[in-house]
Amino acid sequence: MPPDSRTASPTRPMRADARRNYDRILAAAAEAIAEHGAEASLEEIARRAGVGSATLHRHFPSRRRLLEAVFRDKVEALCATAADLAADPDPGHALSTWLRAVARHAVSNRGLATALMQGSHDGDPTLGGTCHSMITSAGADLLHHAREANAARPDVTITDLLKLVNAISLAVEQEPDGADQADRLLTLALTGIHSAAEPAGR
Amino acid sequence: MPPDSRTASPTRPMRADARRNYDRILAAAAEAIAEHGAEASLEEIARRAGVGSATLHRHFPSRRRLLEAVFRDKVEALCATAADLAADPDPGHALSTWLRAVARHAVSNRGLATALMQGSHDGDPTLGGTCHSMITSAGADLLHHAREANAARPDVTITDLLKLVNAISLAVEQEPDGADQADRLLTLALTGIHSAAEPAGR
DNA sequence: GTACGATATGGAGGGCCACCCCGTTTTCGC
DNA sequence: GCGAAAACGGGGTGGCCCTCCATATCGTAC
C-alpha cells in the first residue's frame, strides 16, 4: 500500500522522515523474510532498518500488513500476467500456466504463499486490496474462461485452486529443490494421479 | 516411543516417577495440541501436566519428539488401515481411500499433519520410527500395488502423494469446514481439474 | 529565518515463551 | 533402611511481540 494517496480518504501526505522509515522497514523486511520466511522476527527487521520497534509497529500494525506491503508488487505482477493470459485462445492452458506461475513465484519468494493465503477472515475487516483478494479476482477470470471452454470442471472454484497452489508452495518452501517439487506436485494435482504421461493441461 | 524397551539398546526400564510424569505430559500435550494446534505452548503443557518445564524438556528434547509421541497411536492406526487395504482387489481405489483417510485424520487431529510432514532432515538423524517414515512405508506398498494395476502414473512417488495430502490438510486446518474442504481439494488433486463429474478414483 | 503545533520517534518495560543450570528430592537395588 | 543413581523443578537467560510516553523532528505560516 503506497503510504500516501490512500484508498479514498484524502490523507495528508506522509512526513519525509516517516516516509523514509517506511521505506527502510520495507527493504529490511524483504531481506529478512527472504532469509527466514514469513515468521521472521519483527524486532530484527526493525533493527536492520535502524528504527525502533515501535516505529515498525506504528507503520505496520500487524505482521499481515507488513507481508502485504512487501509482496504487493509481486502480486500485481501476477495479476498482470493473468490479464495477459486472459486473451489466450486456449483458456485451459492459460489457467494452468498461470497457476504454475503463481507457484513459481511462491517458492522463489519465501513468505509470498503465506501472504496469499491470508484471507480477511481474521479481524481487521477494513482490508479491500489484500494480496488474497487481488489474486483471487485475477484468477477468477481465467477460471471463468476455462469453464466456458469446458477445460475445468464446473464445481471447482478459484479459491480451491489457489488454496491448492499455496498449500503446495508452503509445503515445499524449505526443501532445497522446492521449485521442482512444486512443479511436479502441481502437475499431479492439475492432471490427476492416473493419466499416464500426457501433458493433459492443454 | 514407548519409553521403556527402546530400540535395540538395553536401556533399563524407566523409574516409576519418570514414567508417571511422561504419561502426564503426553496427556496434557494431547489436550493442548487439540486446542491450540502444533504450536501449543510447551510451558502450558508442563503446567497442565503439573511438572516443571525442565522435566518436559528432559523427556522430549524437541517439539518434534513430543508430536511424534502424541500421535504415535494414530499413525499406527493409519498404517494398519493401509495394511488392510493392501488386500483390496482394486488397488487404485485402495490407494485413494487410504489417502482420504489420512486427510480425514489430519484435519480432525490438529497437529497430525505437522507431525507427518516432519521428515528427519533437520539434525537429529537418530530417528528411525518417526511418524513420517512409518506412514511413508505404509503408503509405499499401496502405491506399489496401484502402479502394477496401472492405476497410478509411474512417475509419482508416495512422498509426492503424502506431501500433497498433508499440504492440503495444513492449509484447511483452521477453517471451520476443514473436513469438507480437504475432501474436495483432495478429490480435485487425485482426479485432476478437467474430468467432468466422473468419480475417476475407481 | 524563526517559532510553534502537529507528527513521528525509540528506549524502556510488561507479558509470554523456549531452554538450561544445578541444588534438592525421589526411587530402587541391596 | 541406606546410599548411589536418577529424576525433579525453581529460577535465570535471552528472545519475542507489543505499548506507553517523554523527546526529537518536520512543515508551515509569518
pLDDT one-digit tens code per residue, A107-150? 999 999 999 998 766 555 566 678 999 999 999 999 999 999 99
What does residue A133 show for φ and ψ, rounded to 5 degrees? Answer: -70, -35
Residue A25 has a pLDDT of 98
- List own/partner pairs for B183-190 with CB under 8 A and 24 or more apart: B183/B100, B183/B103, B183/B104, B184/A160, B185/A160, B185/A163, B185/A164, B185/A167, B186/B99, B186/B100, B186/B103, B188/A156, B188/A160, B188/A164, B188/A189, B189/A164, B189/A188, B189/A189, B189/A192, B189/B164, B190/A192, B190/A193, B190/B96, B190/B99
d(CA A165, CA A100): 8
Q: In this predicted model, what pLDDT tens digit does every residue of A58-116 receive, in sequence order? A: 999 999 999 999 999 999 999 999 999 999 999 999 999 999 999 999 999 999 999 99
Given an 8 Å threshold on Cβ–Cβ distance, is B194 in contact with A172?
no
Residue A192 is predicted with a pLDDT of 86
Residue A152 Cα distances to A95, A177, B16, B38, B190, angstroms = 9, 29, 61, 35, 14
**CB proximity under 8 Å: B 151-170 to A:** 151-156, 160-161, 163-164, 166-168, 170
Per-residue pLDDT, averaged over B18-22, amounts to 97
The pLDDT tens digits for B51-74 are 999 999 999 999 999 999 999 999
Report the pLDDT value the prediction gives residue B40, as an integer from 0 to 100. 97
- Specify the higher pLDDT residue, A112 or B173: A112
Alpha carbon distance A5, B194 (integer Å):
43
Instruction: State how far the Cα of A61 lies from the Cα of B58, in Å rounded to an integer.
Output: 38
What pLDDT, on the 0 to 100 scale, is given for residue A123? Answer: 53
Which residue matches cell numbers 475407481? B202
Mean pLDDT value of segment A17-45: 97
Per cent of chain B over pLDDT 90 is 79
Put simply, whether the predicted model's pTM sits higher than 0.95 gets the answer no
CB A153 within 8 A of CB B200: no
A169 is written with which cell numbers? 508452495
Whose CA is nearest the C1' atom of nucleotide C6? A15
Taking CB atoms and an 8 Å limit, are A171 and B117 in contact across chains? Answer: yes
pLDDT bracket for residue B4 (50, 70, 90): very low
